[in-house]
Amino acid sequence: MEVSVIGSSQAKIWKTDLAYRELGFSDLRDVGKVFSAKNRVCFGQSTRWRTARFRFALKAVQSEPLRSEKVSVATRRSESHDGVRLFVGLPLDVVSDCNAVNHTKAIAAGLKALKLLGVEGVELPVWWGIVEKEAMGKYEWSGYLAVAEMVQKVGLKLHVSLCFHASKQPKISLPKWVSRIGESQPGIFFTDRAGQHYKECLSLAVDDLPVLDGKTPIQAYHEFCESFKSSFSPFMGSTITGISMGLGPDGELRYPSHHRHAKSNKIPGVGEFQCYDKNMLSILKQHAEATGNPLWGLGGPHDAPAYDQWPNENNFFRNEGGSWESPYADFFLSWYSNQLISHGNRLLSLASSIFSETAATVYGKVPLMHSWYRTGSHPSELTAGYYNTSRRDGYEAVAEMFARNSCKMILPGMDLSAEHQPNESLSSPELLLADIRASCRKHGVDVSGQNSSASGAPGGLEQIKKNLLGENAVDWFIYQRMGAYFFSPEHFPSFTAFVRSLEQPELESDDLPEEEKEVADSLHASSESGAHMQAA
pLDDT digits (tens, 9 = 90+) for 206-222: 999 999 999 999 999 99
- CA-nearest of 132, 43, 134, 150 to 96 is 43
Distance CA 415, CA 335 (A): 32
Angle value at C-alpha 33, between 502 and 484, nearest 5 degrees: 35
The CA-based angle 333-345-172, given to 5 degrees, is 90
Q: Record the pTM.
A: 0.83
- The reported pLDDT for the residue numbered 452 is 87
Whether the CB-CB separation of 409 and 400 falls below 8 Å is answered with no
Q: What is the spatial distance between Cα 149 and Cα 225, in angstroms, rounded to a whole number?
A: 19
Residues of the chain under the 50 pLDDT cut: 1-9, 14, 39, 43-81, 262, 505-536
CA 352 to centroid of chain Cα atoms: 19
Give CA angle at 333 (195, 374), nearest 5°. Answer: 105
Q: How far is CA 90 from CA 122, 148, 297, in A?
A: 6, 11, 44
What the chain holds in terms of domains, given with CATH numbers, is: 85-263+328-367+393-503 (3.20.20.80)
Q: Please, what sign has the CA dihedral across residues 111, 115, 119, 124?
A: positive
- Could you tell me which of 148, 143, 175 has the C-alpha nearest to residue 160? 148
The sign of the dihedral angle between the CA atoms of 494, 79, 407, 438 is negative
Question: What single DSSP character describes residue 389?
Answer: B
* Per-residue pLDDT tens over the stretch 268-280: 899 999 999 999 9
Give the model's pLDDT for residue 514. Answer: 46
Check residue 242 and give its pLDDT: 97
Q: What is the phi/psi pair of residue 396, to 5°?
A: -60, -50
The pLDDT value given to residue 65: 36
Q: Are strands 447-450 and 476-479 parallel, antiparallel or unpaired?
A: parallel
* 116, 12 contact by CB (below 8 A): yes
Residues 16-51 as b/e (b if ≥16 CB within 10 A, e otherwise) read bbebbeebebebbbbbbebbeeeeebebeeeeeebb
How far is the C-alpha of 263 from the C-alpha of 221, rounded, in Å? 35
For residue 161, how far is the Cα from the chain centroid?
Answer: 7
CA distance 502 to 51: 37
| 3-state SS class at 54 | helix
Using an 8 Å Cβ cutoff, are 360 and 231 in contact? Answer: no
Q: Compute the CA torsion angle 74, 79, 81, 82 (nearest 10 deg).
A: -30
